[in-house]
A and B are shown apart, each in its own frame.
Chain A
């Protein structure tokens, strides 16, 4: 049994919040480059270049890539042979978020649902924990912006809708979202499980680096087909017209109930941020 002090987790969460918000991943920058080559709209290509330049400035000056520094979504994988000591794990994570958003000059974007009073420190975080074999703790911080999150949906399809129904719904969702979620987007899709599990799958699918293949060949093909359908819509960068409406479609799938076909679409803007650390 390995002991890990939760104050270490606070420190890591703090650093990851800041890093994720100022340093856009290399995978996203490469996806911009691929999109610029293919983009037929001059305005669209200009916007993609502007986004690259923005990421460069943010990293160099250590300022937020986007003013919406997001809801701090924290994915934890805790080894079952780890004993966490020194305090309350959830509180340690919230404290890391509090420190990161304060020290990194990040925006505090959470409020009371009715009064809309700001919580003042960007807490609480949303925490998803998996218990896994081993004696390590993996922490992933994925700040999620509100504009793209608002365009996300869960739909309980019927089994008869099948793969065609899934394609239709996802493409229609991107079409109706139009310019709102800051295209080019990354479209996270969760298929199967239960109502809530499909949404979690959709969110988790966004953690996969851009430009990587889905390990399941059937899903890999489905991702390509949906992406191709989306990029025929013509919405383009920032919705001003063009080829690059989405940079990628990512799918995670699991079995579902014989009565159901749950489908979740989690839209992610081009500021696809996630950073991880292993303790």
Chain B
């Protein structure tokens, strides 16, 4: 296996163009959390022509709803949630400059098409490894939608958050290719 690539946000077109499916990436810098209800609200803001709570350009959204942090913890357990539920909203955010999404599970053709057109990448984190992933978060604060509890948008500072490239800017899909490699009749 190749050595992981270290990436620092915000991501440029050049950063994401270099990535190919199967690449292991250690994500560093600021990323934002957002899942079902927050995506609905971001989408509604765009529909009505209003500003988003943060500038989407070059950013990475992590599909996660953490557990509450215990005393002494920076962040609670924080593995990815299933991404397809954000598919209806993701292309609009990609068009606004979103460069990376971290989640788990397959994306729709529309999302893959938007990733190709506007140069964005989809990463998978290990679903169910929430206790381990939490340790990579060094700072966390709610920046929008506090009323949504675990679904609020949080600004995270992460160090070496381990992810794998599943969809690259050329339209490749690791889920399809990985399963094909190990399929038996």
A residues in contact (CB < 8 Å) with B: 40-43, 47, 50-51, 53-55, 57-58, 61-69, 105-109, 111, 116-118, 120, 146-147, 150, 178-182, 232-236, 238-243, 269-271
Contact = CB atoms under 8 A, between A and B. Distances in A.
Interface residues of B, number: 51
B79 interface: yes
B178 A242 contact: yes
B128 A178 contact: no
10 contacts: A51-B126, A54-B132, A65-B128, A147-B82, A147-B105, A178-B175, A233-B183, A234-B178, A234-B179, A238-B127
B79 A235 contact: no
Contacts of B131: 54-55, 57-58, 61, 63-65
Contacts of A41: 178, 181-182
Among A57, A147, A179, A271: residue with most chain B CB under 10 A: A179
Contacts of B129: 50-51, 54, 66
A118 B65 CA distance: 12
Contact of A179 (B36, B68, B105, B151): B105
Interface in B102-132: 104-106, 124, 126-132
B182 A65 contact: no
A187 to B, nearest CB: 16
Contacts of A66: 77, 79, 127-130
A63 B134 contact: yes
Contact of A64 (B1, B36, B67, B84): B67
B106 A118 contact: no
A271 B130 CA distance: 11
B182 A241 contact: yes
A67 B65 contact: yes
Contacts of B67: 63-64, 67, 69, 105-107
A147 B78 CA distance: 14
A68 B65 CA distance: 8
Among B79, B106, B166: residue with most chain A CB under 10 A: B79
Nearest to B174: A240
Contacts of B130: 54, 58, 64-68
A241 B21 CA distance: 13
B64 interface: yes
A172 B40 CA distance: 31
B184 interface: yes
B76 interface: yes
Interface string B12-31: 00000000001000000000
Nearest 3 A/B pairs, CB to CB: A241-B178, A234-B182, A234-B183
A66 B81 CA distance: 10
Contacts of B179: 178, 233-236, 239, 241
A108 B66 contact: no
A116 B77 CA distance: 22
Interface in B164-185: 164, 166, 174-175, 177-185
Given A234-B181, A240-B124, A178 B106 contact: yes
A42 B150 CA distance: 34
Contacts of B128: 51, 54, 65-66, 182, 269-271
A271 B70 CA distance: 21
A53 B81 CA distance: 20
B148 interface: yes
A107 B66 CA distance: 7
Contacts of A241: 174, 177-182
B82 A67 contact: no
B149 interface: yes
A63 B79 contact: no
Nearest to B69: A105
A31 to B, nearest CB: 14
Contacts of A54: 126, 128-132
Given A105-B76, A243-B182, A43 B151 contact: no
A167 B150 CA distance: 38
